[in-house]
Amino acid sequence: MTDHSQGRSNVPVGGSMPQSRQTISGSKGLEFAEPLIFELGQVDRCGVDFDDVEISSDRLNGQRRKEAVGWPGLSEPQVVRHYTRLSQKNYGIDSGFYPLGSCTMKHNPRVNEKMARLPGLGDIHPLQPESTVQGALELIDTLAHWLKTLCGMPAIAMSPAAGAHGELCGMMAIKSAIQARGEAATRTRVLVPESAHGTNPASAAACGFSVDTIPANEQGRVDLDAFKKKLGDDVAGIMLTNPNTCGLFESDIINIADAIHDAGGYFYCDGANFNAIVGRVRPGDLGIDCMHLNLHKTFSTPHGGGGPGAGPVVLSEALASFAPLPYVVHDKDHYSIIEHTAHSDAQPFGRLKGYHGQMGVFIRSLGFILSHGADGLLQASTDAVLNANYLRVKLQDQMSIPFPGMCMHEVLFDDRFLKDTDVSTLDFAKAMIDEGFHPMTMYFPLVVHGALLMEPTESESKDTLDLYVKTLRGLIEHAQTGDSQFFKNAPILTPRRRLDETAAARKPVLRWTPCQSME
Amino acid sequence: MTVKFTEDHEWISINGDIATVGITEHAIEQLGDLVFVEVPEAGRTIAKGEEAAVVESVKAASEVYAPVSGEIVDGNSAIADDPAGVSGDPAGNGWFFKIKLSDPSELDGMMDAEAYKAHTE
Amino acid sequence: MRYLPLTDADRSEMLSEIGAKSSQDMYCDVPDQAILKTPTDLPNHATEMGIEKTIKGMAAKNLSPATAPFFLGAGAYQHHVPAAVDHLTQRGEFLTAYTPYQPEISQGTLQYLYEFQTQVAQLTAMDVANASMYDGATACSEAVLMAGRVTRKNRAVLAGGLHPHYREVTDTNARFLNIELVGPDADPTHAAYPASVIDLIDDQTSCVVVQTPDLFGRIIDLNPIAEAAHAKGALLVAVTTEIISLGLLEAPGNQGADIVVAEGQSLGNALSFGGPYVGLFATRSKFLRQMPGRICGETQDVEGQRGWVLTLSTREQHIRREKATSNICTNSGLCALAFTIHASLLGEQGLNRLARINHANACMLADKLALLDGIEVLNDSFFNEFTVKLNKPANDVVNALADKGILAGVPLSRLLPDRDDLTNMMLVTATECTTDQDVNALITALKEVL
């Protein structure tokens, strides 16, 4: 079977701590024991007032629902309290430092929430007559212009709903270009670095490509020789993240672009780490054919606990004509949206999503972009890289760094500094939680052992970084005293302690059912 | 009974022309707590190197490859029902499948216990 | 700059600590030819007041449904979202949290996802649901791919009443994976149904995809199709674009569906010009491991306290990579939260009443429209949306009414421009938001135009 070197136990081993004082109600001060809505609700309660209208079943084709849905009834105060209490168990960027590598957890400006809800933007229907939504089409086009200019690319597909969706879009455009050249049967192999995010090979496979992995060299970058050896007539392209998932700029990128083009392939760039270079480097100048942007990363739209995001894809001349439907066009002062191949002058490969795209996310990111402007975006990316390098120099004597030297907007450590302590990367991260810090990204990328990937972003003050450094240094010292139990018990100050992920996977309980609450 | 090992961390215990296949202690340790196992159905013909079974932990998923070609005689439903029963002991109950060998020469060159131990170090 | 905490003094100090003379030194690994030397032709920073003015200017150029009688649907619906929903989703701990990878400090997100999954499963009468997809159309596409994995067959039948966007998205994804899609064209007469679908099911069919209420608003009985599909070893994928219909109509799970996908936008989420929305995805327990998307599961912590975690992650891209069930990573968490909160406020009674009001308003509207000359209501059955046939191209009528400040409906030619037989047809919707004044304004305007 395939080799794995990073498995670890997911059954937590800590026992009950003396600090966990029991209360009668189950709540502890401002931390509330909050059941499920299904355990709180009653059938005859409701949080919205409606008249009880009679209807005849004549026009329902005999399909009137016979059984109850089963939803619990709650009044508005109960619902507000319930979700308020749930929110209090969560850590967000608003709560504190959130250095998740490759996620770009920067501040989400509040004016953007206001803008997204404006009448005339938040409430318009996508299929209203074009004449009644000119401002909306103008907004999409304005954002598109900014993104193309910042990237130095001539075209853009705005509709993908997230980064992974954008990857799919880019790879579909590439496959379409290959098909147009009559090479679809032969060019089936896509090269992907071993440090790539899992969405990259998954997206390639979703297009029907096979994936061939390129190893990293000792500088944490794509091994150029190994890459060149893998070129051939059957190569469709390369998917490269730049800056890469080790937080490093792929210095050979222009050579890589030239080589892949000479081999007849295309260059997909994963733009998740664009925050390092906005305003300073245009990916279009590096020779890429397409690149997705994560509006919910680089362009500050809220992560929302797992979306929604948006993943527009900038495209080169070679791929522009294959951009999916729909897309906005404008001439003089009139905007139109092209929704059908028959109305298009190009060869769109199809439609990826219902309606036009993540408009609510477009509005928020445009707010951010207009606020910063060209000068501010450059300052933001510079500050992001400065903050990451500051963490690097402040921690590298105590933490082990696999790829020394200047990093981009994120810094990668591995777990060698924890060798002989019996403290794993996971244990170390859980101890950070008790200190009020969300941990950095753990165990990614896979090219180093026990990875710790930290991305501070430009939204953090020097004071925050200094406190973070002080805390980490203290934890490292503690780890070196041999008190590994301290780390294995962590976290102890959180609403829940370590959770049994093994049991969750072995016997999945994925919804509430009435008999559960009776146990 | 002879027990041999593959580079992919499978053990194979041969008894006449029936072989029992499982995964090694080393593999189990690397995966972490196992949460899911899928074993092949009896009657299926399989070639050496083909994917025969799947084993998953919380954070990792692995294919178990057939170390030899032949016909599946039995898949161990006990471990499919309870992945905690998987074990690296060739004499125990934590095996994955039994296969009737179609080409015993495929066993030549496989590692013995000592060679496998050296391989994992 | 208001979003940047570093001062110039900080920057100087930090640069010197890292051994850089200028910020350009940090970019020493970037080939010099790649560094932008001349500034882009883009404006510099603006104040908050300034950007508000710019964006408000764009908003002002649009006709807002808040100021116009409004009758559009076609898969995105205007409903009243209680104020509490938006207030709660904007709490910073929900809004600015990431995916709950550290469950100890994400129990808020995880608990609401578990509630969401339960509500979706209950509404659709299915066993399990995931933590959301991008929207109904992509969920539909993923369902077809999943049916292919489950049945190991390569051919899907799409019923004619499937929303064209859902068909187009499914077609795009299927084409790249060489999955064959067959199915009849959208048929306003409904005459050939269900034979037009059932006749296409064979031993190579992985699934049959049926939308109810369908594109034209008709309510479909899924049972005969479920039977026909199962007889040939195929799955039934049921699709709903108006989730509130399930407050009144029989759930797909009680009609033999194996997978149910839907657009959840009607609950908690504004129209927002088409996105972000929230795709719902539910299935039977036996297919669980082939279900795409994130899933939240219940477990215990070390002290025996109930809690929740993301689970069954080995299906997903970050572990399975090219063998994943889907490439989806970020989904639609905050929209799922809005759905859950709205659903919690409604409860059983509220949902049922809301659905009845929608249907009652649509019946009233249909009856009044049927009295006019030049307009014919085509549906025998509908929930809150139906098809009308006009005496002239629907697009012209809609544009004329838009000039009068009325948003009359969706011409079918907007979705199916090459269908001459649909040119005079339009989809019209009424919801709980539709008032008598709205209806009277529509009637008056139609009399002038038809």
Residues of chain B with Cβ-Cβ distance to A7 below 8 Å are 29-32, 57, 59-60
Facing B35 at nearest CB: one of A1, A2, A506: A506
Facing C98 at nearest CB: one of A65, A100, A325: A100
Angstroms from B23 CA to nearest CA on chain A? 8
Closest listed residue to residue C277, CA positions, set A159, A84, A218, A366: A159
Angstroms from C176 CA to nearest CA on chain B? 25
Asked if the peptide bond before residue A326 counts as cis, ω within 30 degrees of 0, the response is: yes
Contact B9 A502 (CB under 8 A): no
Angle C333-370/C436-449 helices, nearest 10 degrees? 60
Angstroms from C309 CA to nearest CA on chain A? 7
Q: Flag whether residue A180 sits within 8 Å of chain C, measured between CB atoms.
A: no
Angle A199-206/A163-180 helices, nearest 10 degrees? 40
Residues of chain A with Cβ-Cβ distance to B5 below 8 Å are none
Residue C264 exposure: Cα atoms within 13 Å on the Cβ side: 38
Element (H, E) at C427: strand C425-429
Residue A82 exposure: Cα atoms within 13 Å on the Cβ side: 26
Residues 30-69, chain B, touching C (beta carbon < 8 A) = 35-36, 56-61
Contact C319 B36 (CB under 8 A): no
Separation between Cα atoms, residue C51 and residue C283, nearest integer Å? 45
Facing A1 at nearest CB: one of B23, B32, B84: B23
Q: What is the pLDDT of residues C90-146, one digit of tens each?
A: 999 999 999 999 999 999 999 999 999 999 999 999 999 999 999 999 999 999 999
Tokens of C440: 């009277």
Facing C333 at nearest CB: one of A16, A306, A353: A306
Contact B61 C289 (CB under 8 A): no
Q: What is the pLDDT of residues B7-58, one digit of tens each?
A: 889 999 999 889 999 999 999 988 888 998 999 999 999 999 998 999 988 8
Separation between Cα atoms, residue C176 and residue A206, nearest integer Å? 7
Separation between Cα atoms, residue A352 and residue A349, nearest integer Å? 9
Residue B118 scores a pLDDT above 60: yes
Residues 6+ apart with CB under 8 A from C389: C188, C375, C376, C378, C424, C425
- At residue A471, φ and ψ (nearest 5 deg) are -65, -45
Residues 6+ apart with CB under 8 A from C222: C210, C212, C236, C238, C252, C255, C256, C257
Contact B61 C319 (CB under 8 A): yes
As beta bridge partners, residue A90 has C106
Contact A306 C330 (CB under 8 A): yes
Angle C333-370/C107-124 helices, nearest 10 degrees? 30
Nearest CA in chain B to C310: B58
Residues of chain C with Cβ-Cβ distance to B36 below 8 Å are 289, 314
Facing B60 at nearest CB: one of C311, C319, C323: C319
Asked if the peptide bond before residue C100 counts as cis, ω within 30 degrees of 0, the response is: no
Angstroms from C325 CA to nearest CA on chain B? 13
Residues of chain C with Cβ-Cβ distance to B59 below 8 Å are 313-314, 319
Residues of chain C with Cβ-Cβ distance to B60 below 8 Å are 314, 319
Angstroms from C308 CA to nearest CA on chain B? 14
Closest listed residue to residue A89, CA positions, set A429, A499, A474, A423: A499
Closest listed residue to residue A438, CA positions, set A64, A100, A37: A100
CA C448 to chain centroid: 35
Indicate the burial class of A318 (C-beta count within 10 angstroms; 0-12, 13-18, 19 or more).
middle
Contact C330 A385 (CB under 8 A): no
Closest listed residue to residue C265, CA positions, set A358, A158, A160, A118: A358
pLDDT digit of tens for each residue in chain A (519 aa)?
Answer: 766 767 677 777 766 555 567 899 989 888 899 999 999 988 889 999 999 999 988 899 999 999 999 999 999 999 999 999 999 999 999 999 999 999 999 999 999 999 999 999 999 999 999 999 999 999 999 999 999 999 999 999 999 999 999 999 999 999 999 999 999 999 999 999 988 888 898 889 889 899 999 999 999 999 999 999 999 999 999 999 999 999 999 999 999 999 999 999 999 999 999 999 999 999 999 999 999 999 999 999 999 999 999 999 999 999 999 999 999 999 988 999 999 999 999 999 999 999 999 999 999 999 999 999 999 999 999 999 999 999 999 999 999 999 999 999 999 999 999 999 999 999 999 999 999 999 999 999 989 999 999 999 999 999 999 999 999 999 999 999 999 999 999 999 999 999 999 999 999 999 999 876 544
Residues of chain A with Cβ-Cβ distance to B95 below 8 Å are none
Angstroms from B80 CA to nearest CA on chain A? 11
Nearest CA in chain A to B36: A506
Return the DSSP state at A442.
E
Return the DSSP state at C250.
P
Share of chain C above pLDDT 70, in %: 100
Facing C18 at nearest CB: one of A80, A393, A462: A393
Facing C402 at nearest CB: one of A131, A201, A372: A131
CB pairs under 8 A between B and C: 17
Residues of chain B with Cβ-Cβ distance to C314 below 8 Å are 35-36, 56-61
Return the DSSP state at A499.
B
Strands C128-129 and C296-300, how do they pair?
unpaired
Residue C206 scores a pLDDT above 80: yes
Separation between Cα atoms, residue C176 and residue C173, nearest integer Å? 6
Share of chain B above pLDDT 70, in %: 100
Contact A4 B63 (CB under 8 A): no
Residue B88 scores a pLDDT above 90: no
Contact A500 C343 (CB under 8 A): no
Angstroms from A226 CA to nearest CA on chain C? 20
As beta bridge partners, residue A147 has none
- pLDDT on residue C313: 83
Contact A3 B9 (CB under 8 A): yes
Asked if the peptide bond before residue C252 counts as cis, ω within 30 degrees of 0, the response is: no
- pLDDT on residue A519: 42
- At residue A462, φ and ψ (nearest 5 deg) are -65, -35
Contact C98 A165 (CB under 8 A): no
Q: What is the pLDDT of residues C52-84, one digit of tens each?
A: 999 999 999 999 999 999 999 999 999 999 999
Angstroms from B16 CA to nearest CA on chain A? 24
CA A361, A364, A370, A373 dihedral sign is negative
Tokens of C9: 């003094």
Separation between Cα atoms, residue A390 and residue C338, nearest integer Å? 39
Residue C353 exposure: Cα atoms within 13 Å on the Cβ side: 18
Separation between Cα atoms, residue A468 and residue A512, nearest integer Å? 39
Q: What is the pLDDT of residues C246-263, one digit of tens each?
A: 999 999 999 999 999 999
Separation between Cα atoms, residue A83 and residue C262, nearest integer Å? 24
Residues of chain B with Cβ-Cβ distance to C311 below 8 Å are 58
Q: Flag whether residue A436 sits within 8 Å of chain C, measured between CB atoms.
A: no
Residues of chain C with Cβ-Cβ distance to B32 below 8 Å are none
Separation between Cα atoms, residue C111 and residue A496, nearest integer Å? 12
- pLDDT on residue A516: 66
Collapsed DSSP state (helix, strand, coil) of residue A414: strand
Facing C176 at nearest CB: one of A175, A373, A383: A175
Q: What is the ipTM of this complex?
A: 0.97
Separation between Cα atoms, residue C31 and residue A506, nearest integer Å? 50
Sheet harboring A452-454: ordered strands across? A411-413, A452-454, A441-442
Separation between Cα atoms, residue A397 and residue A454, nearest integer Å? 16
- At residue B34, φ and ψ (nearest 5 deg) are -85, 135
Contact A3 B8 (CB under 8 A): yes
